[in-house]
Amino acid sequence: MRVRFFFVFLQIVFLYIIYCIYMNITTTLSQAVAEALKNLYGIDADAKSIVLQDTRKEFKGDYTLVVFPYVKQARKSPEAVANEIGEAVKNALPLVEGFNVIKGFLNFEVADSYWTNFVAEKAADTTFGIAKANPDEAPVVVEYSSPNTNKPLHLGHIRNNLLGWSVSQLLAANGANVKKVNLVNDRGIHICKSMLAWLRYGNGETPESTGMKGDHLVGKYYVEFDKHYKEEVMQLMKSGVEEEQAKKDAPLMVEAQSMLKRWEEGDKEVRALWEKMNGWVYAGFDETYNRLGVGFDKVYYESNTYLLGKELVQKGLDMGVLFRKEDGSVWCDLTGDGLDQKLLLRKDGTSVYMTQDLGTALLRHKDFGAERLIYVVGNEQDYHFKVLKLILGKLGFAWADKVYHLSYGMVELPNGKMKSREGTVVDADDLIDEMEKTAEEMSREHGKNDELSPEEQKHLYHILALGALKYFILKVDPTKNMLFNPAESIDFNGNTGPFIQYTHARIRSIVRKAGDFNISTYQHINLGEKEREVVKALHALPETVAAAAAAYSPAMVANYAYDLAKAFNSFYQDTPILREENAQLKHFRVQLCAMVANALKNTMNILGIEVPERM
């Protein structure tokens, strides 16, 4: 009885070891390489430090080890070292069925059984590679959008919102408890400019009387202010005033500054106008957010946080961290930190952006006890966030190190940069409208909507338009500037959202036609080259999602989805699926298709992109 139990125990241990090998092939390979280095050459190498790369497509193999770092200690040629390590690993791991050496590159060939068992194990897991958010963890707070209430959202805001939303999804897909927040810049000189221009030139216009969205109407008067302000500056310069002084002395600017001071003093008339015009803008913003498919767990308003910032400034003065100049303005001296002096309060006592950001950071930390505070803000604000962290630290907040600026590049147009004051922006609403129109035209041209009802067609055009827009923006590394080209973004055949969306719909059609099956283990299946590439791409999903989260880069997920879709289409063109006569092989390929569809759906969901079931 004891002998029988012992053999059963050994079987369980053996199966567990095999399971671990199947589920962690790269880890297992790295450990085997480390053992080989120790046994062959006496080299102590941590398995975690051993880097395995995907074997280049022109060579046979699955994973490649570069042996050059070990050649000197081994005192042998690169080819000899590679062959000896390869032989040792092959003997140690049954799942390594072979290897080949190209100079100092050792290419391991993994047995088909590993890949087929991987599919059998994971095919039923519709969320493979995606972790569930843990609500018990200290939250990661991601701030994005942060619009000003003096203009509508434009293309630059779109990149910010899509990046913030997607990074939040990406972190959650790695188990983080994410809180998405928005800080609305609803006060300041820029807001007063729109208010003053509306008073001067608006003739009582409202969204209702004009049929304009509220944010568009307010933005119209921000542009109007700039036009009249420039005229006043020119007149002063013609009278002999220097340009810099003319910009300060222009009557409109003087009045706008006075309006801001009255606002901070609580003037009832100014506050009433401010509330009315901001109300118009909020309604417009919400409509645009809904169209983009983004949202927030909490919205902060600068008008509610700047006073807390002022209290911190006073605390800094009391601590001797900040100082007041003769004109009454308050500054922080950062010259010892390699920067300069930073203004925190103007001489008239009004606050600046840094003032409210100090207050908001403290409030947000109190609200969430956050593990990280991530600010999704363009790279033109790199200096601002260096200063924010430094001042928070000088004020004694130990959590200042948790502040992280996710700095991203600007979106540019073929004809240059956008300027809100001059009205030379790509409006977010107009862009979505144009994208939906183009999606409809392209869909009709390619016959993608023939079997859909009018309601289904309308929904399809919307998700294709948003898929094109979001993917085109998110596939670019956040740190890089990008050139937006709407025509390129909606191509059904390129590196685009619609290409991936169409691939998903095609796969779902295959799976529907295949019907039900329950073969879950596969024996003696020989994988074709393109079939193998698809399985390997799926195998890399968890690692890709984890690496993308560590880099705060949705671009890594976007390009993974494209590579997977491209590999699937190559496999689909080359390999019979529903026409395959071998039942086991047919079912394996259908399961593989279903896995690809799930992977595309989940990765595109991280990007905020919906994938259609039919096209």
**pLDDT higher at 515 or 534:** 534
| Position 133 in a domain | no
Mean pLDDT calculated for residue range 312-319: 96
| pLDDT at residue 419, rounded to an integer | 46
Question: At residue 101, what are phi and psi to the nearest 5 degrees?
Answer: -120, 125
Q: Would residue 561 count as lying in a domain?
A: yes
Tokens of 359: 């207050």
Quote the Cα angle for 234-236-242, to 5°: 95
- Which tokens in the block code for residue 71? 């050649």
Could you list the residue range(s) of the whole structural domain that residue 491 is in?
A: 428-606
Distance, CA of 434 to CA of 487 (rounded, Å): 10
Four-point Cα dihedral 356, 358, 360, 362, nearest 10 = -150
- Higher pLDDT, residue 507 or 417: 507
- Taking alpha carbons only, the member of 64, 68, 71, 60 closest to residue 86 is 64
Distances (CA, A) of 451 to 208, 294, 455: 39, 30, 12
Task: Output the pLDDT for position 75.
Answer: 94
H runs (alpha helix) in 24-67: 25-41
Here the CATH number for the domain that contains residue 356 is 3.40.50.620
Nearest residue to 531 (alpha-carbon basis) of 593, 602, 587, 597: 593
Q: Are residues 88 and 10 in the same domain?
A: yes
User: Is 130 among the domain residues?
Assistant: no
Reference 61, options 43, 82, 40, 41; nearest CA is 82
Closest CA to 283 of 219, 215, 217: 215
Q: How far apart are CA 308 and CA 302, in angstroms?
A: 10
Other beta carbons within 10 Å of 247: 16
CB-CB contact of 148 with 185 (8 Å): yes
Q: Among residues 348, 382, 412, which one ends one of the domains?
A: 412
At residue 448, the pLDDT reads 63
Q: Which residue in the block uniquely carries the two structure tokens 């004020």?
A: 395
Whether 286 and 347 share a structural domain: yes
- Say whether 334 sits in a helix, a strand or coil: coil
Residue where one domain finishes, among candidates 350, 383, 412: 412
Q: Is residue 417 part of a domain?
A: no
pLDDT (tens digit per residue) in 496-512:
999 999 999 999 999 99
| Residue 600 CB contacts under 8 Å (≥ 6 apart), including other chains | 500, 503, 504, 507, 561, 564, 565, 611
233 in Cβ contact with 254 (< 8 Å)? no
Residue 369's CB is within 10 A of a number of other CB atoms, namely 11
Of 28, 33, 100, 32, nearest to 62 (Cα)? 100
The band of 517, judged by pLDDT with boundaries at 50, 70 and 90, is: low
Q: How confident is the model at residue 566 (pLDDT cuts 50, 70, 90)?
A: very high
For residues 37 and 80, state if they share a domain. yes
Q: Helices in 346-418 by DSSP H: which ranges? A: 353-368, 382-394
Assess whether pLDDT exceeds 50 at residue 421. no
Per-residue pLDDT for 279 more than 80?
A: yes
Helix (H, G, I), strand (E, B) or coil at 527: coil
CA distance 383 to 359: 18
Pair 64, 105: CB distance under 8 Å: yes
Burial, 262: exposed, middle or buried (Cβ in 10 Å; 0-12, 13-18, 19+)?
middle
Q: E strands within 234-363?
A: 298-301, 322-324, 330-333, 341-345
- When pLDDT is cut at 50, 70 and 90, the band that residue 13 belongs to is very low
Q: Are 111 and 523 in contact (CB under 8 A)?
A: no
Q: What is the pLDDT of residue 491?
A: 77
The answer to whether the beta carbons of residues 30 and 48 sit under 8 Å apart is: yes
- Whether 402 and 533 share a structural domain: no
Q: Does 462 lie in the same domain as 385? A: no
Q: Is pLDDT of 4 > 60? A: no
Query: How is residue 358 written in tokens?
Result: 């100090």
Pair (390, 502) in one structural domain? no
What's the number of domains the chain is made of? Answer: 3
Q: End-to-end alpha-carbon separation of the chain, Å? A: 62
Alpha helices in 395-448 (DSSP H): 428-446
Mean pLDDT for the chain overall: 90
User: How is residue 457 written in tokens?
Assistant: 């067609």
The token duo for 471 is 């993917």
DSSP3 helix / strand / coil % (the chain, rounded to 5): 60, 10, 30
- d(CA 405, CA 382) in angstroms, rounded, equals 7
* For range 421-427, the mean pLDDT: 60
Which of 361, 380, 412 corresponds to the end of one domain? 412
pLDDT tens readout for residues 120-157: 999 889 999 999 988 888 999 999 999 999 989 998 89
Tokens of 308: 């807390």
Whole-number pLDDT of residue 424? 53
CA atoms within 13 Å, Cβ hemisphere of 398: 2
- The rounded distance, in Å, linking the Cα atoms of 35 and 403 is 41
CA angle centred on 474, ends 473 and 477, rounded to 5°: 105
CA 450 to chain centre: 34
Higher pLDDT, 483 or 374: 374
Domain for residue 138, yes or no?
no
- pLDDT (tens digit per residue) in 430-451: 889 988 998 888 888 777 666 7
How far is it, in rounded angstroms, from Cα 269 to Cα 472?
A: 45
- What is the Cβ-side half-sphere exposure of residue 477, based on CA atoms within 13 angstroms? 3
Q: What is the pLDDT of residue 492?
A: 77
On whether both 90 and 156 belong to a single domain, the answer is no
- Domain-embedded: residue 129: no
Three-class SS state of 374: strand
Q: Which helix (H) or strand (E) holds 98?
A: strand 96-102
CATH number for the domain that contains residue 452: 1.10.730.10
Q: What is the dihedral of CA 168, 170, 172, 175, to 10 degrees?
A: -150
Together in a domain, 407 and 469: no
157 and 255 within one domain: yes
Token match 């240059």: residue? Answer: 416
Considering the domain architecture, whether residues 602 and 463 belong to the same structural domain is answered as yes
Does 97 lie in the same domain as 150? no
Q: Are 363 and 308 in contact (CB under 8 A)?
A: yes
Residue with tokens 């120790």: 38
Q: What is the pTM of this model?
A: 0.88
Q: What is the DSSP letter of 321?
A: S
Q: What is the pLDDT of residue 524?
A: 76
| Tens-place pLDDT, residues 526-557 | 999 999 999 999 999 999 999 999 999 999 99
Same domain, 250 and 291: yes
Q: What confidence score (pLDDT) does residue 452 get?
A: 79
- Taking residues 234-238, report their average pLDDT: 96
Token pair, residue 544, equals: 């890709």
Strand-pairing partners, residue 52, are 65
| Residue 217, both tokens | 């109407």
Instruction: For residue 199, give every residue at least 6 positions away whose Cβ sits within 8 Å of its Cβ, in sequence order, or none.
Output: 273
Model pLDDT, residue 191: 92
Output the CA torsion sign for 414, 415, 417, 418.
Answer: negative
Q: Give CA–CA dist 507/512, Å, rounded.
A: 9
Instruction: Kindly report the CATH number assigned to the domain that includes residue 51.
Output: 3.30.1360.70
Does residue 124 belong to any structural domain of this protein?
no
Residue 20 pLDDT more than 70?
no
Provide the pLDDT for residue 450: 67
Structure-derived torsion over alpha carbons of residues 34, 37, 39, 44, reported in degrees to the nearest 10:
-70
Q: Is residue 271 part of a domain?
A: yes
pLDDT digits (tens, 9 = 90+) for 58-71: 999 999 999 999 99
Percent with pLDDT over 70 in the chain? 92
